[in-house]
Structure 1
Amino acid sequence: MCAFCYLPHVYRGISSECRETCELLEYKSFLEMSAKSFSAVTVAAVLIFFLKIQLSEQAPVNGSKWSYIGPDGEKAWPKKYPFCGGVFQSPIDFHKDILQYDSNLLPLEFIGYNVSSTDHFTLTNNGHSVKMYLSPTMSIRNLPFEYTASQLHLHWGNRNKSEGSEHTVGGKHFAAELHIVHYNSEKYPDVTAAMDKEDGLAVLAVLLEIGPFNPSYEKIFRHFRNVKYKDQKVQVPGFNVRELLPARLDEFYRYEGSLTTPPCYPSVLWTVFRHPVTISQEQLLALETAMYCTESDDPEPLEMVDNFRNVQEFHERLVFISFREGFVVSAVIACILAVLTILAVALWLLKKRSCKKEGQDNRGVIYKPGTYKEEEDLSKM
């Protein structure tokens, strides 16, 4: 190697052979530096690309990049969030062709659902729904894992068409639907880490229909005026969250599905209770009219209505049920037959008693032949 190769500014006066050696070494050094620069740029570009994907997937959870109507509505979801166009999506319609009774399904065990009024939940408007963050001491068992509560939220229609449930039964919509979201706390540290895992989430769904006033739901509904606009928050005193569930917790639908909002991860073990819970017409109207998707200073406020996803294709899944389908109908028919039988027996006994009484009354009547009068008439002749 030439002694002047690392001093290119002084090798003009050296031999041509030494100069060629130096030039070759310079060219080699240039190529190595170019390769290193290209590699660094490529790695940086790849990192930026995946970072953008990650941010785009996380953004909708905070409620800013999608909607239920307009150009960012449900039909456009799969373009930005591929899982929304995939399989195992929710919600679905429960109809008899896909239902299968499973005697191994156990009623859920609720831990810590009765929260003291000295503790508080945070209720917020996230631009898509009204959401209430729950206590980490709340959990459910009798599932493949123990799941810790994260939040609850609602889906509803509008004042002109109160058919806002996401799941349907035999094609029938209910007025609204409550979801209580839990994450697999045996495997994951929080709901964010669990959200995109196939065994990450367990969601309880309660179908709501119009009926008597519900004081338990009013513990949430009375605070709607404080979360009228997006990003507003209010503290709600603790209460027994189990009161939001139906009385019959042993009858439910169970299936594997997805989040019903972007990014639509297929990570949810659904438990949809069979029996609906009632809220009053006034309570439903408050839900349908109280909130906006937009912030308080938006010049064009957008009402928060029809925030439910349409029913999805089932893709040959099965829904397991904890009750025998048709049991209620059979029970009703049996009751009707029993009542008719009792009525028939009662009528027969009443008729028999009436005939017996009539026979007893006739025993006191003596029938005498009419010969005496005839003999008297003959003697007068």
Structure 2
Amino acid sequence: MDLVIWLDVAVLLSLWQCVESTGAAKEWTYAGATGQSEWPVFFPECGGSSQSPINVDTSKIHYDASLPELRPLGYEQYGHEPFTLSNNGHTVEIPLPSWMGVAGLPWHFSAVQLHLHWGNGVGVATGSEHSIDDQRASAELHVVHYNSELYSNISEAKTQGNGLAVLAVLIEAGEETNQAYTNILNYLGRIRYAGQKVLIPAFNVGTLLPSDLSRYFRYSGSLTTPPCHESVLWTIFIEKVKISHSQLLKLETMLYISRPGSANPKPLQDNYRSTQPLNNRTVLSSFTPVSGNIYTAGEISAMVVGGLCGCVGLAVIVRFIVKTIRSMSSWDVLSSVRPHPQQRTKDTARDMALRTTSDPGTNEEANLQSKP
């Protein structure tokens, strides 16, 4: 009897292991039957309470003066070894050497890889994963690192609460070509299908980041793709990076989810996860936002120009009013001191009378006329 029970237990354990292994190997997509809404079914951690990405509400963030400026380590010391650019069916990815890292985090984190998220070529600002005050950007770059101070490799670190750190760069479309991103985008034509790889010349990874690495948001979250481990310390830079509209369109339309030889290849688009509830988490900032709003450089320039124009216009109006008041005041003063016409006539008659009585020639003539 005991043998039968043990056999039943062994069968159940085997079945459970099969289910677990099947779930671990389950393919996923961003939409459809295995899309985002179904991720928690196959990957339970995707339904956790500390998921990413999030919308950053700048009216609710907390300023932390202790957050330092981040400093890439070894990003520019790429040597002569080429990078490998690949299409994994979900994104484009470049593995990074572990001697690259980032300073300014609680532990030492070594680089693992970088990848991108984007939209579908229809909406200009629809492809980023994170949003700020409900405003998405056109695309988003992630540079992934693991905690090499506490863990020996990425496999060990990715399941730990303090195991990963990801730098998030919001990307928007502009007029000028971004030469740093040509190092990636110019090679997309060689990896159009899932599973394809190409060697590309090494470049300074730091040029993909914004110039200001001191202003950012910080929060604890998860991987934005299955298995959604809640092990990521996120850094979202405020300054956006611009690429040209043609560069963005190339990213949004050139790649496929399907493998080579597919009769009807599906485009690799909209590979971003919807924002997740913040729940009880706190979002920190390394700076103090102005009135709770985050503005781009262009918006700030427009506000400055508008303010200057307003000041000039106000100055012109004030000058006109002052000039008018002065003109009216001068006229009133002149009117008050100007002699009255009638008074001027009396004064003239009096002056003539005085001149007549004081003229000697006139007096003699009068005296002669008075004699008989």
What range is the shorter-chain TM-score in? 0.7 to 0.9
Show CA shifts across 1:88-142 (max 9, x none). Answer: 0001001134310000101112110004362211110000011111122100122
Structure 1 stretches lacking a partner, 5+ long: 1-30, 356-368
Q: What amino acid sits opposite 1:155 in the alignment?
A: H
| Preserved contact between residue 115 and residue 241 of structure 1 (Cα < 8 Å) | no
Name 2:251's counterpart in structure 1.
287
CA distance in 2, matches of 1:142, 1:84: 29
Q: Deviation digits for residues 242-273 of structure 1, max 9, x if unmatched?
A: 11111111000000000001111111000000
Provide the C-alpha distance between the structure 2 equivalents of 1:231 and 1:321, rounded to a whole number of angstroms: 39
* Contact 2:59–2:293 (CA under 8 A) maintained in structure 1: no
- Decide which of 122, 131, 138 is 1:175's aligned counterpart: 138
Letter matched to residue 205 of structure 1: A
Q: Map of 1:148-187 to 2, 5 A cutoff?
A: 148-162=110-124, 163-187=126-150
SS across alignment from 2:234: strand
TM-score by length of 1: 0.76
Structure 2 counterpart SS, 1:230: coil
Which residue number corresponds to residue 53 of structure 1?
20
Q: Identify if the C-alpha distance between structure 1 residues 47 and 170 changes in structure 2 by more than 3 Å, giving closer, same or farther.
A: same
2:167 corresponds, among 189, 196, 204, to 204
1:74-85 to 2 correspondences below 5 Å:
74-85=36-47
**1:225-374 counterparts in 2 under 5 A?**
225-326=189-290, 336=307, 340=311, 344=315
The answer (yes or no) to whether the contact 2:71–2:213 under 8 Å persists in 1 is: no
Deviation per CA, 1:27-57: give whole Å up to 9, x if none. xxxx7xx63x864774575266346525633
Q: For residues 262 and 328 of structure 1, what CA distance do their matches in structure 2 show?
A: 33
Which stretch of the first structure deviates more once superposed, 200-209 or 187-196? 187-196
Write the mapping of 1:187-226 to structure 2, written as runs, cut at 5 A: 187-211=150-174, 212-226=176-190
**Structure 1 segments of 4 or more deviating over 6 A?**
327-335, 369-372
Q: CA RMSD in A?
A: 3.8
After superposition, the C-alpha distances for 1:191-219 in whole angstroms (9 at most, x for unaligned) are 12211111110000000001121000111
* Contact 1:121–1:135 (CA under 8 A) maintained in structure 2: no
Q: How many aligned residue pairs are there?
A: 331
Residue 114 to residue 302, structure 1, CA distance change in 2 (3 Å):
same
Contact 1:77 1:262 in 2 (8 A): yes
Contiguous gaps of at least 5 residues in structure 2: 327-343, 357-372
For residues 112 and 270 of structure 1, the distance between their equivalents in structure 2, rounded to whole angstroms, comes to: 20
Asked if 1 retains the 8 angstrom alpha-carbon contact of 2:121 and 2:253, the reply is yes
Structure 2 residue aligned with 1:17: none
Q: Supply the distance in 2 between the matched residues of 1:267 and 1:186 (Cα, whole angstroms).
A: 15
Counterpart for residue 125 of structure 1: 87
CA offsets, 1:171-229, max 9 Å, x none? 11110000000011112222122111111100000000011210001111101011100
**Is 1:134 the equivalent of 2:96?**
yes
Cα 1:307–1:334 shift into 2, 3 Å: closer
SS in 2 for 1:72: coil
SS of 1:151 mapped into structure 2? strand
Matches within 5 A, 1:10-29: none
Work out the CA distance in 2 between the residues paired with 1:105 and 1:290: 39
- Note if contact 2:58-2:293 (Cα within 8 Å) is conserved in structure 1: no
Name 1:363's counterpart in structure 2.
Answer: none
Q: Percent same amino acid at aligned positions?
A: 38
Q: Secondary structure at the match of 1:122?
A: strand
- Find the aligned partners of 1:334 and 1:283 in 2 and give their Cα distance: 30
User: In the alignment, residue 92 of structure 1 is paired with which amino acid?
Assistant: I
Secondary structure, counterpart of 1:49 in structure 2: helix
SS in 2 for 1:140: strand
Q: Normalising to structure 2: TM-score of the pair?
A: 0.78
In the alignment, the residues of structure 1 paired with residue 293 and residue 280 of structure 2 have an alpha-carbon distance, to the nearest angstrom, of: 27
Whole-Å separation in 2 of the counterparts to 1:98 and 1:82? 29
Matches within 5 A, 1:104-123: 104-116=66-78, 118-123=80-85
SS at match of 1:103: coil
Distance 2:199 2:103 in 1: 28
Structure-2 separation of matches of 1:256 and 1:329: 22
**Alpha-carbon distance between aligned partners in 1 of 2:77 and 2:7, rounded to the nearest angstrom:** 54
> Is this contact kept in 1: 2:58–2:132, CA < 8 A?
no
